[in-house]
Structure 1
Amino acid sequence: MAATKLDLREVPPADRHPKIHDAFDSLDSGETLELVNDHEPKPLFYELRAEVPEFDAEAYEVEQRGPAEFVARLPKK
Protein backbone atom coordinates (compact mmCIF):
# COMPACT_ATOMS: atom_id res chain seq x y z
CA MET A 1 0.00 0.00 0.00
CA ALA A 2 1.43 3.39 -1.01
CA ALA A 3 1.90 6.05 1.67
CA THR A 4 2.27 9.81 1.54
CA LYS A 5 4.17 11.26 4.51
CA LEU A 6 3.35 14.55 6.18
CA ASP A 7 5.38 15.85 9.15
CA LEU A 8 3.24 18.30 11.12
CA ARG A 9 5.55 18.99 14.05
CA GLU A 10 6.69 22.36 12.66
CA VAL A 11 3.29 23.35 11.24
CA PRO A 12 1.27 25.84 13.35
CA PRO A 13 -1.72 24.08 14.99
CA ALA A 14 -4.27 26.25 13.16
CA ASP A 15 -2.84 25.14 9.79
CA ARG A 16 -2.66 21.41 10.47
CA HIS A 17 -6.19 20.17 9.75
CA PRO A 18 -6.54 22.00 6.42
CA LYS A 19 -3.14 20.64 5.35
CA ILE A 20 -4.16 17.10 6.40
CA HIS A 21 -7.50 17.29 4.57
CA ASP A 22 -5.82 18.55 1.38
CA ALA A 23 -3.24 15.74 1.52
CA PHE A 24 -5.89 13.10 2.25
CA ASP A 25 -8.11 14.36 -0.58
CA SER A 26 -5.21 14.01 -3.03
CA LEU A 27 -4.77 10.30 -2.23
CA ASP A 28 -6.08 7.58 -4.49
CA SER A 29 -8.22 4.78 -3.13
CA GLY A 30 -6.06 2.25 -1.26
CA GLU A 31 -3.35 4.77 -0.40
CA THR A 32 -2.42 5.93 3.10
CA LEU A 33 -1.53 9.30 4.58
CA GLU A 34 1.18 8.88 7.21
CA LEU A 35 1.29 11.75 9.69
CA VAL A 36 4.12 12.57 12.06
CA ASN A 37 2.77 14.64 14.91
CA ASP A 38 3.77 15.92 18.35
CA HIS A 39 0.65 14.44 19.99
CA GLU A 40 -1.77 11.60 19.40
CA PRO A 41 -4.27 12.85 16.81
CA LYS A 42 -7.45 11.48 18.42
CA PRO A 43 -9.58 14.56 17.58
CA LEU A 44 -8.52 14.21 13.95
CA PHE A 45 -9.48 10.52 13.95
CA TYR A 46 -12.99 11.35 15.25
CA GLU A 47 -13.34 14.22 12.77
CA LEU A 48 -12.36 12.05 9.79
CA ARG A 49 -14.52 9.14 10.93
CA ALA A 50 -17.57 11.43 11.22
CA GLU A 51 -17.06 13.62 8.15
CA VAL A 52 -15.00 11.78 5.51
CA PRO A 53 -16.67 8.66 4.05
CA GLU A 54 -13.45 7.67 2.24
CA PHE A 55 -11.52 7.40 5.55
CA ASP A 56 -11.01 3.75 6.53
CA ALA A 57 -11.38 4.08 10.32
CA GLU A 58 -11.09 0.31 10.81
CA ALA A 59 -7.56 0.28 9.35
CA TYR A 60 -6.37 3.43 11.20
CA GLU A 61 -3.17 2.94 13.19
CA VAL A 62 -1.15 5.16 15.51
CA GLU A 63 2.25 4.49 17.04
CA GLN A 64 4.07 6.50 19.68
CA ARG A 65 7.78 6.61 18.83
CA GLY A 66 8.86 9.11 21.50
CA PRO A 67 7.47 11.59 24.02
CA ALA A 68 6.63 14.08 21.24
CA GLU A 69 6.50 11.83 18.18
CA PHE A 70 3.39 10.00 17.07
CA VAL A 71 2.97 8.39 13.66
CA ALA A 72 -0.61 7.94 12.49
CA ARG A 73 -1.63 6.07 9.35
CA LEU A 74 -4.83 7.29 7.73
CA PRO A 75 -5.93 4.88 4.99
CA LYS A 76 -8.30 5.83 2.21
CA LYS A 77 -10.96 3.36 1.07
Structure 2
Amino acid sequence: GVASGWRRVGASGLADILASDYGRLLLVKVALALVVLAMGATQRRRLSAGKAPVQRAVVWEVLIAALVLGATAWMTGMEPPGA
Protein backbone atom coordinates (compact mmCIF):
# COMPACT_ATOMS: atom_id res chain seq x y z
CA GLY A 1 0.00 0.00 0.00
CA VAL A 2 2.78 2.43 0.87
CA ALA A 3 4.62 1.71 -2.39
CA SER A 4 1.41 2.15 -4.36
CA GLY A 5 0.68 5.45 -2.64
CA TRP A 6 4.25 6.62 -3.19
CA ARG A 7 3.94 5.76 -6.88
CA ARG A 8 0.57 7.53 -7.15
CA VAL A 9 1.96 10.68 -5.58
CA GLY A 10 4.93 10.44 -7.94
CA ALA A 11 7.26 11.48 -5.18
CA SER A 12 10.98 11.52 -5.28
CA GLY A 13 11.25 12.98 -1.78
CA LEU A 14 9.36 14.10 1.28
CA ALA A 15 8.75 17.58 -0.15
CA ASP A 16 6.90 16.04 -3.12
CA ILE A 17 4.66 14.06 -0.78
CA LEU A 18 3.87 17.09 1.36
CA ALA A 19 2.92 19.09 -1.74
CA SER A 20 -0.45 17.32 -2.07
CA ASP A 21 -3.34 16.65 0.32
CA TYR A 22 -3.29 13.01 -0.77
CA GLY A 23 0.40 12.69 0.09
CA ARG A 24 0.00 14.35 3.48
CA LEU A 25 -2.92 12.09 4.34
CA LEU A 26 -0.90 9.07 3.17
CA LEU A 27 1.91 10.04 5.57
CA VAL A 28 -0.56 10.45 8.45
CA LYS A 29 -2.09 7.07 7.67
CA VAL A 30 1.29 5.33 7.54
CA ALA A 31 2.39 6.98 10.79
CA LEU A 32 -0.82 5.92 12.55
CA ALA A 33 -0.49 2.38 11.22
CA LEU A 34 3.08 2.20 12.56
CA VAL A 35 1.84 3.36 15.97
CA VAL A 36 -0.79 0.60 15.97
CA LEU A 37 1.84 -1.97 15.01
CA ALA A 38 4.19 -0.80 17.77
CA MET A 39 1.41 -0.89 20.36
CA GLY A 40 0.39 -4.36 19.24
CA ALA A 41 3.98 -5.58 19.49
CA THR A 42 4.24 -4.18 23.00
CA GLN A 43 1.05 -5.94 24.06
CA ARG A 44 2.26 -9.17 22.47
CA ARG A 45 5.50 -8.99 24.46
CA ARG A 46 3.47 -8.52 27.64
CA LEU A 47 1.33 -11.53 26.83
CA SER A 48 4.42 -13.62 26.02
CA ALA A 49 5.86 -12.70 29.42
CA GLY A 50 2.69 -13.95 31.10
CA LYS A 51 1.40 -10.49 31.93
CA ALA A 52 -2.07 -9.17 31.22
CA PRO A 53 -2.50 -6.57 28.47
CA VAL A 54 -2.77 -2.96 29.58
CA GLN A 55 -6.45 -2.14 29.13
CA ARG A 56 -5.89 1.56 28.44
CA ALA A 57 -3.36 0.71 25.71
CA VAL A 58 -5.82 -1.70 24.11
CA VAL A 59 -8.45 1.03 23.96
CA TRP A 60 -5.98 3.47 22.40
CA GLU A 61 -4.85 0.85 19.92
CA VAL A 62 -8.43 0.31 18.76
CA LEU A 63 -9.09 4.04 18.52
CA ILE A 64 -5.95 4.66 16.47
CA ALA A 65 -6.79 1.69 14.23
CA ALA A 66 -10.20 3.30 13.65
CA LEU A 67 -8.40 6.49 12.59
CA VAL A 68 -6.35 4.45 10.11
CA LEU A 69 -9.56 3.06 8.64
CA GLY A 70 -11.04 6.57 8.53
CA ALA A 71 -7.99 7.89 6.71
CA THR A 72 -8.27 5.00 4.25
CA ALA A 73 -11.92 5.79 3.61
CA TRP A 74 -11.10 9.46 3.14
CA MET A 75 -8.32 8.63 0.68
CA THR A 76 -10.68 6.57 -1.49
CA GLY A 77 -12.68 9.74 -2.09
CA MET A 78 -9.61 11.78 -3.04
CA GLU A 79 -8.05 12.01 -6.42
CA PRO A 80 -4.35 11.17 -6.31
CA PRO A 81 -2.00 13.70 -7.86
CA GLY A 82 -1.52 13.24 -11.58
CA ALA A 83 -4.76 11.29 -12.00
State the TM-score, normalizing by the size of structure 1: 0.25
User: Between Structure 1 and Structure 2, which shows a larger proportion of strand residues?
Assistant: 1
Higher relative contact order (CA 8 A, sep 6+): 2
State the TM-score, normalizing by the size of structure 2: 0.24
User: Between Structure 1 and Structure 2, which shows a larger proportion of helix residues?
Assistant: 2
Which of the two has higher C-alpha Rg? Answer: 2
